[in-house]
Amino acid sequence: MPELRKDPVLGRWIIISKERRKRPTDFLVEHIEGSGGFCPLCPGNESSTPPEVYAFRYKEGVSDGPDWQVRVVPNKYPALVIEGDLAKEGVGLYDQMNGIGAHEVIIESPNHEENFADFAPDKMALVFKAYQERIIDLSKDPRFKYVMIFKNHGRAAGASLEHSHSQLIALPILPRMIVSELAGAQSHYTYKERCIFCDIIRQEIQQDERIVCQNDRFITITPFAPRTPFEMWILPKRHSSAYFSQSEADILALAEIFSETLQRLSRCIANVPYNFVLHTEPLRSGGLKHYHWHFEIVPKLTSIAGFEWGSGFYINPMPPEEAAGYLRESYKN
């Protein structure tokens, strides 16, 4: 019989369809080669991008020169623009404002061919450090309330260019997902005076059914009510609501577990397209007792169709306990 499961933070229901149960090899992943040709993100082509807003170079170099390891540039053709006032207004029932925001691209490596999942942890840490630096810088702009950081890997997950990159959008409003997460977490805190994510971590360690891997500082789990097969969350074990406040040692430990998590995923399903999104507190929150920053990794293995759009229920053919089992075993094979 299928099972309905409720996400404890969002109150979102998921259908775990055990009848449609699948093994990792049952998921068909179409490997699409990159189209090749000139790449605007490669070293030497810096003039194809807007001037960098951040870069990491081992040796001191010229801004927009080619010796970078990680480079962050504004989007050349942004959906939101950085200059101007919000000019909020109401038109009858409807609210509107100018499309102000920052849209940036984090170029994760100078190497066009290198896959993010194959980065060594110290190299991946440079990317996570860049995320921190950009959040700190953008938080100085009072027009922005939230910085959303995400990665699309693979065409099916929305990546348009094969050169490894992630994106950042600073928004003048809080995304609905974060509003819902904050509200769910606040409700738990009001009742129990504990962070719901800290409670989840405690319970997952106790039950030991959905843990994928862990180190001293972080844990990767398949959540109790995942939207897709092999959805994973990476959470700091110590309570923290602000991603930007992590120490260098935290960032290296994050890179280690992130690298291991993606390696496990790709050993289960080669070339799997995925998205990951950083969930962190709104800018200038000053630290929240009820919220806990984390990454959510969502492989693109199922499609959202009429039922999901109409009902808001996701159908997942892979129980998270089984997914965690496959992911744990993947390192032994």
Partner 1 sequence: MKKILLVDDEESIQIVYREEFEDEGYQVISALDGQTGLAKFKEDEPDLVILDIQMPGMNGVEVLRQMKMIKASVPVILSSAYQEFKQDLGTWASDEYVVKSGNLDELKNTVRILLGKK
16 in contact with partner 1 (CB under 8 A) = no
Identity of residue 66? P
Among 76-84, 140-148, 247-255, 273-281, which window interacts with partner 1 (CB under 8 A)? 76-84
Q: Which is nearer to partner 1, 11 or 99 (CB)?
A: 99
Residue whose entry in the numeric block shows the structure tokens 């207004």: 89
Nearest Cα residue to 27 out of 259, 181, 213, 229? 229
Identity of residue 83? E
And the tokens for 63? Answer: 């801004």
**Alpha-carbon gap, residue 230 to 325, rounded angstroms:** 10
- CB-CB contact of 292 with 240 (8 Å): yes
- CB-CB contact of 267 with 138 (8 Å): no
Smallest gap, in angstroms, from Cβ of residue 280 to partner 1?
A: 24
Among 34-42, 127-135, 215-223, 318-326, which window interacts with partner 1 (CB under 8 A)? 34-42
Report the greatest alpha carbon distance in the chain: 62
Among 39, 53, 82, 174, the residue binding partner 1 under the rule CB under 8 A is 39
**Alpha-carbon gap, residue 140 to 212, rounded angstroms:** 37
Nearest Cα residue to 241 out of 202, 197, 275, 211? 197
Among 33-41, 52-60, 236-244, 259-267, which window interacts with partner 1 (CB under 8 A)? 33-41
And the tokens for 103? Answer: 């849209």
40 in contact with partner 1 (CB under 8 A) = yes
**Alpha-carbon gap, residue 131 to 124, rounded angstroms:** 11
Among 2, 48, 238, 331, the residue binding partner 1 under the rule CB under 8 A is 48
41 in contact with partner 1 (CB under 8 A) = yes
**Count, residues near partner 1 per rule CB under 8 A:** 17
Check 103, 153, 165, 290 and give the catalytic one.
Answer: 165
Question: Assign residue 299 a region: left if phi > 0, alpha if psi is -120 to 50, beta otherwise?
Answer: beta
Q: Please report, as residue ranges, which positions from 109 to 168 form the binding site for partner 1 (by CB under 8 A).
A: 160-161, 165
Among 44-52, 114-122, 229-237, 247-255, which window interacts with partner 1 (CB under 8 A)? 44-52
Among 1, 19, 25, 36, the residue binding partner 1 under the rule CB under 8 A is 36
Residue 188 is a catalytic residue: no
33 in contact with partner 1 (CB under 8 A) = no
Binding site for partner 1 (CB under 8 A): 35-41, 45, 48-49, 76-77, 79, 105, 160-161, 165
Q: Which residues are catalytic?
A: 165
